[in-house]
Structure 1
Amino acid sequence: MAMSASGFGAEDTPMSDINTTPLVDVMLVLLIIFLIAVPIAIQTIEKLRIPVMASVESKDKVENLLLTVTTTDRGGRSAGDPGYEGASRYGKCRIYFNNITPVDSVELREQAFKRLESIVKREGGLEQIMQNPEKIPQVHIRGDVNAPWRCIAGAIYNVQVSGYPTVGFISNPQDPEAQ
């Protein structure tokens, strides 16, 4: 008399249930990797700094639009205010139109569009400007080294919506003694 190893009255049919143990193991490993990788990625992004590099003296045209982008500190104070602690990624974006007038996003779009429109009219129309690429006005952005990317990206977006095709960054001249 032979005994069955699988129990009494067991049939010789294959088991049709899916084994979920390997699936659960893989999911747990992926979860652990994700939990370790996300904080590292966030810390890397927070420490992003705009590099200081040697700059070439530009022949700035009057038609070019100059923007300065910075933020308030955690207390809402702007640069120059008593107790200013430096730009904070949690602060409110500050954009200065031609380094003079502080503007918000809507004002930036409107003023940039009006300025571009007046340049196009003065130069004899869009066709005249397009024939001579040197006459196409540009936007130059001077960003605070601690300004968050959301402020700089917002300024870029607003001037591009206004019609400026070229946006560039201005860096501070490198100190020759620092080399």
Structure 2
Amino acid sequence: MINRAFIIPTGDEIKNGTVLDLDSAKIMESLVRLNPEMVITRLAPVVDVEANIVGTMESCLDAGAELIVLIGGSGGGHRFSSTLGSDYTHSAMELWLDEKVSHCIYGKNGHMWSKLVCGTKAETLVINVPGPIREAAATIAAFAESAREGRDIRAINEAMTRALYAQYPQDKVQHDE
């Protein structure tokens, strides 16, 4: 059972208030349903800089996190167009995690819409959810359901990916499987 969780909203647009973080409350709701006694800390938003994201995850680990949930930055938009924002959440996770699995969802045009990463650092479980509220709600609910059955990162990631995939019109996306 997970007893201590940290929520880390990411993104310059969240940090500067251009976009409101509505996801944290929805994530807390799902985590409380998973364990009503869980202690959940929502941290201040972190800018889209890999070193800042890694440093924040490291601080959570040092504070006794059993679960770290990162919000946003799953699309990697800047890798496809200079007009899109910089998203470094999944790349920071891939650098930092000891063990990890991931799945991507691509638009038919080849643009990566979302990459979900699930992994561990020491004994801490780390996941990311997309920024759009509907997608965040679907993926965190799938996480909570899967986490009830255990801490298998592959099973958790697959459940979250199925939930996210279901949010898109099926004729508009490609799955990386």
TM-score, normalised to structure 1, is 0.30
- Larger relative CO (CA 8 A, sep 6+): 1 or 2? 1
Q: Which structure is higher in strand share?
A: 2
